Structure 1
Amino acid sequence: MDSCGILSVDVKQTDVIVAALPVQDHWLPMSNLDLLLPPLDVGVFLCYKESLPHEESVKIIKKSLAQVLAPFYPFAGEVVHNNDGEPELLCNNRGVDFIHAHVDIELKKIDFYHPDDSVEGKLVPVKKQGVLSVQVTELKCGGLVVGCAFDHRIADAYSINMFLTTWAEIAQSKKISCLPSFRRSVVNPRRPPVMNTFYNTLFHPISSIPPQTSHLPLDPLISRIYYIHAKDINHLQSISSSNGNPKRSKLVSFISFLWKIIAECDDDLNTCKMGVVVDGRERLNYTNSFSMKNYFGNVLSVPYGEAKCDELKKMSLSRVADVVHEFMSPAMTEEHFRGLIDWVELHRPEPICARIYVKKEENEGEAIVVSSGQRFPVENIDFGWGKPHFGSYHFPWGGQTGYVMPMPSVKKNGDWIVYMHLLQKHLDLVETKGREVFKPLTPLYLDL
């Protein structure tokens, strides 16, 4: 690391990895749900305390990457725009940019609590072209980090999880457990599409959003990674489910606790928004031969709630959990996703974005989105030298809306790893008001 505490990365070699089997050039249209995503790249990284000799490990990763790109060929393509200005995926086996790098530091010395310094553009590559970029970074004393950056318009977290699991299975010559399906017809709009103005509250055509006033300074958002003990998650769930309430999920309980913390900001904004990313696969599951569990692409909606900060402060955690449940519930149905697909169809080719990601007025309250990473299969991503000692998503997406993703700890003891990308004032609250729950990630916790 340099004198500023930022990792210094030495790039040893760059390559382009193409699918091991020939791919016939063809177009794969974006679904209406894909079109809800702006051109953002998402990062994910996996840390291995030990591996095979580095050259051998890199060889295995490159060979298995070429093999996994055959069934997951969209990751070897590129996004282009059609005559209507809409993005489309050209499956042309352009390939994946692959970086082989070295960092002269042991895994236990890397400061994952401050991922902006240690991960961003260091262990997770900056994607320049194509849909997916991969970086393998050798560490001192035999450790290894595998980092990926992918275009969110092509895949959601569920899809990249499927890819990572299959990649590891191929590396170990195991039977593939879940081949992807690109059957876009399952998320086609109805004919005729049904207009429901309810979605006007959740999503907006880009043209309806006023341009940001350039003279207003924008505070940067900062990334941090914390851990939460299982007992503290269970305690939040117990409190959220008190006073005769139905038993709330751990995620709803976590969201409610975080919302109350953020409401403590002493500024001039009267309201605070909380959004939740909902995966629609279970809602759109079919009873015939096709199951959405194999579907590759985006199947997401972002319902949100807005409340006055003073009221949130006064509410019990169980009452806040009621509010979270109320705004999430409409998005937990098949009709919600069918209606959303129709709504996008009726606005095409106008680009769309989620309402919570945009401030339409200067004095609008702060907003945060929580996306559950509980399906992150860290323990399954074994390339042949053991499961990762640590893994996390990394999404400093560049907007003014905060982003939080809780994931399971690789310890498999019920603990959570929580990636946060928030304003400094919100992180300060997390570490004061929430200090009994949120613990800064340390090498000691990771057993490094």
Structure 2
Amino acid sequence: MGSCEGGVAVVVKRTEVVVAVLPVAESRLAMSNLDLLLPPLDVGIFLCYDKGSENINNETKISMLKRGLGQALVPFYPLAGEVVMNSQGEPALFCNNRGVDFVHAFADIDLQHLDLYTPDASIHGNFVPIKKHGVLSVQVTETKCGGLVIGCTFDHRAADAHSINKFLVAWADITRSICPLNISDKAMVNKYTPCFRRSLLTPRKPSHHDPAIDDMYILIKNAAPPSNSPPLFHLQSRIYQISAYHIQRLQSLAGPKRTKLESFTALLWKLLAKSAKHNKKKCKLGIVVNGRNCLTDSSTTDTKISFDEYFGNVLSVPYSESTVGELKSLPLSAIANKVHACVESAANEEHFRGLVDWVEKQRPQQAMCKVYSCIPNEAEEAAVVVSSGQRFPVSQMEFGWGRPCFGSYYFPWGGYTGYVMPMPSAANDGDWIVFMHLSPSHLDFIERDAPNIFKPFVK
């Protein structure tokens, strides 16, 4: 039994392991060079469902979820496996159908009273499970009002958000379907068959890369060693809602050629600078770039694969830095131009092919994005990574009893580099839900300086 800081007890009713409903031949699936850039990090997701008007009780819903999960694990079989180390000390996926830990719990709280603004206190470990085994863990929690919270935690080394989103939609579709997934039906299999072809991301021969990658990535052994002194501060997670009006307003201020994400990111970068007292300090900004739209299948096989279906990590994190003084003085449009240039530096096939080659050159030494290694000091004010969750398909997570009333990623990692992820509102009204993991002082300043934009989320 666990409990929220507010005194709400979360009682575990049952714990079991859900396996793929069809036999899965044991195999090892190598991680691509892009997977190898990820350290052992677990990422959480949670979805909230009101009781709804459907005549389905929670026991039936949870039975449906388990049944659908067992079927979804057939095409997404690596999620039922484990991460193991190979002879080189590198992680690989052991596809052995170990299964997914599935927890059924009850929380003595009405869903509308659940604190979603400060999820570290209310959600972590209570509604989003702490993964102990395997690649994926699931917890389904009943609430006093009859609602449900579905929480998932997955190993980031196995998949990025794009891949997990595909799995979640498939799980929802299968669960909602009147008839179980017919594995012999070729059309259904194709609909839910992700691509695990690692040859799509093999190094080139001869290999080569843009020297700029040497400035974006670093060997972990060369990163700043951890200090023996107490941490300067602990990052905190908060969830905000930004209205569609303010998103459009930001985009108009940033310029007609700038995306909503670039406009929002420019504002965030400027706010971090405004919170600082020393103009010579630097603020670093990383942007997560999904390479699927940049890459083409260059393999010699007859069957060409769309990278949209590729399951794994296809990400790069270019970053830019500016002094506090410069960011304070620049208009939002000029900062948005800097953000755009940062994104464009990685949003091309040559960058991703070069990154694959760069990792191959370093193996088996592990590397990481350099922006993750930042530590605030006399020269650095802050570093933050912005990841677009705008394609988070929250409105498609319909398991058979209505759409979620709320959904968000939850990613409280270690270190001092912040993490921010904007996602669409479950209401599908153009508003954004923004998960922010920053220092308390930065979060407090953002709320004071832009209270009309960053509204603490209240259900």
TM-score (norm 1): 0.95
In 1, distance between residues paired with 2:376 and 2:416? Answer: 13
Give yes or no for the alignment of 1:74 onto 2:78.
yes
What is the CA–CA distance in structure 2 between the aligned matches of 1:14 and 1:412, rounded to whole Å?
34
Instruction: Give me the whole-angstrom Cα distance separating, in 2, the residues matched to 1:318 and 1:424.
Output: 27
| SS of 2:214 mapped into structure 1 | helix
Q: What residue number does 1:21 align with?
A: 22
In structure 2, the partner of 1:270 is 281
Paired with 1:76 and 1:2, the residues of 2 have a C-alpha distance of 28
Distance 1:86 1:4, change over 3 A: closer
Q: Which residue of 2 aligns with 1:5?
A: 6
Residues 55-88 of structure 1: CA deviation (Å, up to 9, x unaligned): 1111000111111111001101101111111111
1:293 to 308, 315, 329: 308
Aligned-pair distance for 1:411? 1.4
The 3-state SS of whatever aligns with 1:398 is coil
Q: Retained in 2: the 8 A contact 1:230–1:415?
A: yes
- Alpha-carbon distance change, 303 to 66 in structure 1, aligned in 2, over 3 angstroms: same
Question: Contact 2:287/2:342 (CA < 8 Å) preserved in 1?
Answer: no
**Shift in CA distance, 360/393, structure 1 to aligned 2, threshold 3 Å:** closer
- 2 CA distance for matches of 1:56 and 1:230? 37
Q: Please report how far the alpha carbon of residue 4 of structure 1 lies from its aligned counterpart in structure 2 after TM superposition.
A: 4.1
Residue of structure 2 aligned with 1:170, choices 168, 171, 174: 174
Residues 305-341 of structure 1, C-alpha deviations (whole Å, 9 max, x = no match): 1000011011000010111112221111111101101
Q: Write the deviation string for residues 137-193 of structure 1: whole angstroms up to 9, x where unpaired.
A: 011121001100000000100001000000011112275744211011111111121
Structure 1 distance, partners of 2:74, 2:277, is 52
The 8 Å contact of residues 3 and 10 in structure 2, kept in 1 or not, is answered as no
Contact preservation (8 Å) 2:200, 2:297: no
Deviates more, 1:144-153 or 1:396-405: 396-405
Pairing partner for 1:256 from 266, 273, 291: 266
On the 8 A contact 1:195/1:346 being kept in 2, the answer is no
Q: What does residue 31 of structure 2 align with?
A: 30
What one-letter code is carried by the residue in structure 1 that aligns with 2:119?
P
Letter in 1 for 2:197: R
* Separation (CA, whole Å) in 1 of partners of 2:16 and 2:277: 49
User: Helix, strand or coil for the counterpart of 2:293?
Assistant: coil
Give, in whole Å, the separation in 2 of the partners of 1:315 and 1:341. 35
Distance change >3 Å, CA 93–CA 398, structure 1 → 2: same
Q: CA deviation at 1:264?
A: 1.5
Unaligned runs of 5+ in 2: 179-187
Letter in 1 for 2:234: P
- Which SS does the other structure have where 1:281 is aligned? helix
Aligned to 1:314: 329
Q: Quick one: structure 1 residues 313 and 115, their matched pair in 2 at CA, closer, same or farther if it must change by over 3 Å?
A: same
Matched, 1:55 2:72: no
SS of 1:9's partner is strand
More off after superposition, 303-312 vs 320-329: 320-329
Alpha-carbon distance between aligned partners in 2 of 1:138 and 1:309, rounded to the nearest angstrom: 47
- 3-state SS of 1:251 partner: helix
Distance 1:215 1:327 in 2: 34
- The match for 1:418 is 434
Q: 2:4, 2:126 within 8 Å by CA — same for their partners in 1?
A: no
Q: Is the CA contact 1:381–1:387 (under 8 Å) kept in the aligned structure 2?
A: yes
Match of 2:212 among 179, 198, 204: 198
Q: State the shift of 1:359 in Å.
A: 2.4
Q: Which residue identity does 2:384 align to in structure 1?
A: I
C-alpha displacement at 1:365, in angstroms?
A: 3.3
Residues 1:210 and 1:225: Cα distance change in structure 2 (over 3 Å): closer
Deviation (angstroms), 1:267: 4.5
Contact 2:297–2:304, Cα closer than 8 Å, also in 1: yes
Whether the 8 Å CA contact 1:107–1:139 is kept in 2: the answer is: yes
Report deviation, 1:289: 3.0
| Amino acid in the other structure paired with 2:269 | W
Aligned equivalents of 2:235, 2:97: Cα separation in 1: 35
- Paired residues of 2:266 and 2:336 also in contact (CA < 8 A): yes
Which amino acid in structure 2 is aligned with residue 304 of structure 1?
Y
Distance 1:380 1:3, change over 3 A: closer
| Residue 40 in structure 1 maps to residue 41 in structure 2 | yes
**Per the alignment, in what secondary structure is the counterpart of residue 345 of structure 2?**
helix
| Structure 2 residue 341 is matched with structure 1 residue 340 | no
SS at match of 1:142: coil
For residues 30-60 of structure 1, the C-alpha deviation after alignment (integer angstroms, 9 at most, x for no partner) is 0000001110000001110016211111100
- The alignment covers a number of residue pairs equal to 439
| CA-to-aligned-CA distance 1:326-370 (integer Å, 9 cap, x gap) | 222111111110110100011110001110000278433310000
Aligned counterpart, 1:284: 295
The question of whether the paired residues in 2 share the 8 Å contact of 1:7 and 1:122 is answered with no
Aligned to 2:254: 240
The residue type equivalent to 1:377 in the other structure is P
| Residues 438 and 6 (structure 1), Cα distance of their counterparts in 2 relative to 1, 3 Å cut | farther
User: What is the CA distance between 1:197 and its match in structure 2?
Assistant: 2.4
Cα contact 1:40–1:397 (8 A) shared by 2: yes
8 Å CA contact 2:4, 2:122 repeated in 1: no
Structure 2 counterpart of 1:446: none
1:404 aligns with 2:420: yes
- State the match for 2:106 in structure 1: 102
Give the gaps of 5 or more residues in structure 1.
444-448
User: Does the C-alpha gap of structure 1 residues 6 and 440 become closer, same or farther in structure 2, counting only changes over 3 Å?
Assistant: farther
Question: For the residues of structure 2 that align with 1:88 and 1:173, how far apart are their CA atoms?
Answer: 33
* Structure 1 Cα separation of the partners of residues 448 and 98 of structure 2: 48
**Which letter does structure 2 place at the counterpart of 1:209?**
A
388, 393, 405: which is aligned to 2:409?
Answer: 393
Q: Aligned residues: percent identity?
A: 53
